Amino acid sequence: MNVASSVQVMFRFLSLNRMQSFTLNKELMDAYCIEVEEKKQYIGMVPLTPMSLNDIIDFYIKQQLTLDDCDISIMVNMEMVDVNQQVPKIVSDMLKHIECSMSVVLTQD
């Protein structure tokens, strides 16, 4: 089984302003933002990998964000996983630094 295609982990910044969204896109590789027009905010998303871990932590600290401003999103493709799917270790590594909430999204692509 190819775990990389069955489980995707994203670190999400849930309430960025416009300048923070530009900074995120500029400073973190593979980061992108989605505008939430009704709130005039942006949701920033970064693939959570060993390479991005320290950059995410640095951005979180520099932008003075709170735990309520972020989460870890674990997306599981149900067509490609076993009954018992392990959460990637990078999630526990991140939670040692930023103890934010987690969400799980189940898909059937």
Model pLDDT for residues 44-96, shown as the tens digit of each residue: 999 999 999 999 999 999 999 999 999 999 998 887 766 677 889 999 999 99
β-pairing, 41-47 vs 32-36, is: antiparallel
Q: Write the CA distances from 91 to 19, 20, 44, integer angstroms.
A: 27, 23, 17
C-alpha–C-alpha distance, residues 28 and 45, integer Å: 10
Structure pTM? Answer: 0.87
Domain ranges of the chain: 3-107
Q: Rg of the chain's alpha carbons, rounded to an integer?
A: 14
Calpha distance 49→36 (Å, rounded): 25
Q: What is the rounded distance in angstroms from the CA atom of residue 35 to the CA atom of residue 56?
A: 19
